[in-house]
Amino acid sequence: MTDLTSAERLGRLRENLAAVEARIDAACAAAGRPRDEVTLVVVTKTYPASDTRLLASLGVTDVAENRDQDAAPKAEECGDLPLSWHFVGQLQTNKVRSVLRYADRVHSVDRHKLVDALSAEVVKSGRADLGCLIQVGLESETPEGAHRGGAAPSEVEALAEAVAAAPGLRLDGVMAVAPLVGPYAGDARRAFDRLAEIASRVRESHPAATMVSAGMSGDLEEAIAAGATHVRIGTAVLGARPTLR
C-alpha cells in the first residue's frame, strides 16, 4: 500500500470516500434524517500525514487520532490545512498539554481527573475553549463493571456537570464505541439506542451538548439509525490497519 504512487493513493481514497458517503446517505435516508445532520470524521490513526493531506484535498473537513505520539507530528505537518482535529483515544493527563496544541475536540473525556487537567491546561495556554465529549463505556451501567475506556452511564451526569462548570471547557456531547462485552455485546443498535437515551438526558441540563459521536466502519448504519451526529470512520476510508489498534 505504501508503494502506491500518490496519484494511485488519491484515487483509492476518493473511491473509498465515495463508498462511505453512499453508506451515510443511505443510512440517513433509511432513518428519515437529513444528510447534513451527520458529519464524517475520518480516523487517520496509523496512516501518514500524506494521507491526511490527500483527504483534505478530497474535501474531508474532520479527522481523528487516538495516540498523541503519532498525532502531534502529523498535526504539525498538516498545520496549513483547514481541518478540524478530534482526539478519540484514551488520554493520559501527562499528554494533555500536547493534545491541546492541535485538538479542536476531545471525545474521550471519561474521568474527573482528566476534566481538571484539561481545564487547567486550556486556561494556562490561553487558547479558545476546548470542545469535550463524555465517553460512555457501555460494558456495564455502573463503574463496578470492567471498563476499557469510558465513564459508566451512572457517572455521566456528574461528569457532564463537571465539564460544563470547568473554565475553558465546553460540553459538546457524548461518545461511545459499541461494546464487546456486557448486555449490549454484539448488538450495536441497542448499544447506540442506549447512548441516545444518555445523550438526551445530558441535553436536558445542557441543551448545547448536541453531539453524539458513534459508529465506525462496521456499524455506522446502526449508529445513524440511533441518532449519531458524528461517525468515526477509519478502515473503510484508509484500508485495514496493520494489526494492533
Where does this chain bind ligand PLP (CB under 6 A)? 43, 45, 66, 88-89, 177, 216-218, 232-236
Q: Give which of 40, 45, 7 is closest to 22, Cα–Cα.
A: 40
DSSP letter for each residue of 9-77 = HHHHHHHHHHHHHHHHHHHHHHHT--GGG-EEEEE-TTS-HHHHHHHHHTT--EEEES-HHHHHHHHHH
**Closer CB to ligand PLP, residue 123 or residue 216?**
216
Q: How far is the CB of 80 from ligand PLP (least distance, A)?
A: 25
Q: How far is the CB of 216 from ligand PLP (least distance, A)?
A: 4
**Closer CB to ligand PLP, residue 168 or residue 220?**
220
CB 125 within 8 A of CB 98: no
Nearest-CB residue for ligand PLP? 234
**Closer CB to ligand PLP, residue 177 or residue 199?**
177
**Amino acid occupying residue 120:** A
Helix 153-165 vs helix 112-125: crossing angle, to nearest 10: 20
Q: How far is the CB of 74 from ligand PLP (least distance, A)?
A: 15
Contacts of 172 (CB under 8 A, 6+ apart): 105, 131, 132, 133, 208, 209, 210, 211
**Closer CB to ligand PLP, residue 24 or residue 88?**
88
Kindly list the distances between the CA atom of residue 168 and the CA atoms of 86, 119, 122, 160, 171, in Å, as whole numbers in the listed order. Answer: 17, 6, 6, 14, 10
**Closer CB to ligand PLP, residue 66 or residue 119?**
66
Q: How far is the CB of 237 from ligand PLP (least distance, A)?
A: 8
Q: How far is the CB of 8 from ligand PLP (least distance, A)?
A: 21
**Closer CB to ligand PLP, residue 149 or residue 161?**
149
Helix (H, G, I), strand (E, B) or coil at 129: coil
Helix (H, G, I), strand (E, B) or coil at 242: coil
Q: How far is the CB of 177 from ligand PLP (least distance, A)?
A: 6
